[in-house]
Chain A
């Protein structure tokens, strides 16, 4: 007899089966459990520095690490076509590669596909060598070599882009190109698949907009046929932020953000702007009409191609509205030695102050604002900036700078566990927006262009991290 128990058993079994049938295809399709390590790609300049000259050859090597035997390898490189001319793409130590080049006036993109034929290796292996001739038509590169290593960078192509890969193209003679740099630490960001049918294209979505700090990229100075570049550069921006030590606080910060790219081709975009290039003349009108069409706790206006800030092409930085957003020339994404994207993000996300000498102290009530700067020195009275001229000498390690300023001195104020942890290495270094204010560390991403500063120039100092975690993101989930 089919009794109550049988009914219950049937119900449970059928319920589980139905639920599994419904969820399984999506689980597979959307990679719900992306618990695998992606290959790690790095880009290195192979040409010795003293041989880098205008008119000469420069070679970049793409190395791959953490790959598995027989794993498909897919990576892209973007280069500044105004400064580099592609001569050849050669295979490295991993065997045959296929590659394709897309060249435009200002930049070029190379997509490379290969296969790891060796066994799993711990050390990195050369996948490809990109050979360029330096042909600078901009005058931005100097003879001493400054800037040459910033011309090429890596990106992750979509599978759709990679589909165009066919047989290797032989010895293409390209117009100039010059890409940019990307880092040595490419992190495993789980980007969404670009869905260009949506108005607010999800790039990285970690939860409901109700619980996250939502960032939206808007394109300026991109032609309709360059929107793909805009989407890629938006992703590169996220990647640049992830290259900082923010990534070490993924749960506290990175996972509390959603990232979207505004789709200028979408049917909901006002006709006057749909599929058209927005430039300086109509930027304000454009933003006023579209800025609320996506979840927008913060915005990023990504300026492609032309320099919006009229700097004659040399501008490296941006314009940040504290707690609102920032305007950012996309070319800054390709500068390796300094992470200007993260710098502007620090202003816009958390109201962090500049730690270089701006000559301006914008607060009237002294220390109550500006988390990462203080007017009050430690009782050891540090006076001289140990990093003058952009170089931190041995003086920076003098004990006078190691004693923390009172604002972040846990021996003088009651500190939470988080403060104790993040203020542990804080010191008191003269110069923070003005010469007479003090910063917590000799170098950080909120500083200016410091040379010889090591990895710290890419990272937020502990005091900045505290304000980011506690104040900017403390209420997000």
Chain B
């Protein structure tokens, strides 16, 4: 084989190897497309934990605020009365909005005998776990009329992420935002990826 042919062959192999390598990389890079959520609500095993007090006039007082381990609800159900609306802001932009009821309503019932007992009570002292946004700087609460009932400036709190071993949450059955199919295949394997896109 002449030297020129040999160089050509080497060049072909190099092109082919490069094509395989690039396609592999492209394949893996394209997978996160399937992982994309439809909303910007974080799925994280930690959340803002607010200890609150509800006054008699339904205004709210913050008693404590921290970042705590645990998934937060997403508060996406809508209400037509007796509710609080809240927004999480980052640099004056709303990054999240949710709502929750102003009262606790619990019914115990035996449907066979049509017995029921309703208990309706105010929230009083309660905890609220909100989705964690690292860039958040304010949380504002409104009543159903749109009147502001509480504004929290997050800069006055030390809200560092809790120290935890990420591997503890790998295997909890939830593909969180801080996991991916490489770091936690168990939760974010292909099944999760594909199901999310309804393939």
Contact = CB atoms under 8 A, between A and B. Distances in A.
A334 B100 CA distance: 33
Contacts of B175: 208
B174 interface: yes
Contacts of A448: 111, 114
Main secondary structure of the interface of A (DSSP, over half): loop
Interface stretch (B39-47, B57-65, B134-142, B153-161): B39-47
Contacts of B107: 319-320, 322, 347, 354, 358
A321 B173 contact: no
Given A213-B76, A294-B174, A323-B100, A356 B114 contact: yes
A210 B71 contact: no
Contacts of B163: none
A19 B196 CA distance: 18
Interface string B87-124: 00000000000001100111111111010101010000
Nearest to B168: A268
Size range of the chain A interface in the assembly = 35 or more
Main secondary structure of the interface of B (DSSP, over half): mixed
A15 B40 CA distance: 30
Interface string B49-80: 00000000000000000000111111011111
A324 B199 CA distance: 31
Given A15-B27, A210-B43, A477-B39, A362 B118 contact: yes
A322 B106 contact: yes
A475 B116 contact: no
Contact of A295 (B23, B77, B174, B198): B174
A1 B105 CA distance: 77
B3 interface: no
B150 interface: no
Given A293-B71, A449-B111, A477 B105 contact: no
Contacts of B111: 316-317, 338, 340, 343, 356, 448-449
Contact of B171 (A199, A296, A449): A199
Given A1-B8, A15-B26, A207-B196, A316 B110 contact: yes
A173 interface: no
Interface in B143-198: 168-169, 171-175, 186-187, 189-192, 194-196, 198
Interface string A349-372: 011001011111010010011010
A360 B79 contact: no
Nearest to A339: B111
A411 B74 CA distance: 36
Contact of A205 (B8, B43, B79, B195): B195
B85 interface: no
A197 B187 CA distance: 11
A323 B169 CA distance: 27
B109 to A, nearest CB: 4
B172 A199 contact: yes
A22 B43 CA distance: 26
Interface in A272-295: 291-295
Which of B26, B80, B101, B187 has the most C-beta atoms of chain A within 10 angstroms of its own C-beta?
A: B80
Which of A18, A199, A292 has the most C-beta atoms of chain B within 10 angstroms of its own C-beta?
A: A292
A146 B190 CA distance: 49
A340 B168 CA distance: 37
Contacts of B101: 322-323, 351
Nearest to A320: B107
Given A209-B43, A471-B80, A297 B73 contact: yes
Interface stretch (A4-12, A72-80, A100-108): A4-12
Given A14-B19, A18-B27, A362-B120, A292 B110 contact: no
B112 A314 contact: yes
Given A10-B15, A11-B23, A368-B80, A317 B105 contact: no
Interface in A1-52: 1-2, 6-7, 10-11, 14-15, 18-19, 22-23, 26-27, 29-30, 32
B191 A210 contact: no
Interface string A314-332: 1111111111100000000
A311 interface: yes
Contact of A208 (B23, B116, B196): B196
Interface of B: 8, 11-12, 15-16, 18-20, 22-24, 26-27, 30, 37-43, 47, 69-74, 76-82, 100-101, 104-112, 114, 116, 118, 120, 129, 168-169, 171-175, 186-187, 189-192, 194-196, 198-199
23 contacts: A2-B15, A7-B18, A10-B16, A26-B189, A200-B172, A205-B192, A207-B38, A208-B37, A209-B71, A210-B41, A211-B38, A268-B172, A292-B69, A292-B70, A292-B72, A297-B73, A322-B104, A347-B107, A359-B116, A448-B111, A449-B111, A449-B112, A475-B78
Given A10-B16, A211-B38, 4 more contacts: A268-B169, A268-B172, A358-B118, A448-B111
Interface of A: 1-2, 6-7, 10-11, 14-15, 18-19, 22-23, 26-27, 29-30, 32, 195, 197-202, 205-211, 213-214, 260, 263, 266, 268, 291-297, 309, 311, 314-324, 338, 340, 343, 347, 350-351, 354, 356-360, 362, 365, 368-369, 371, 448-449, 470-477
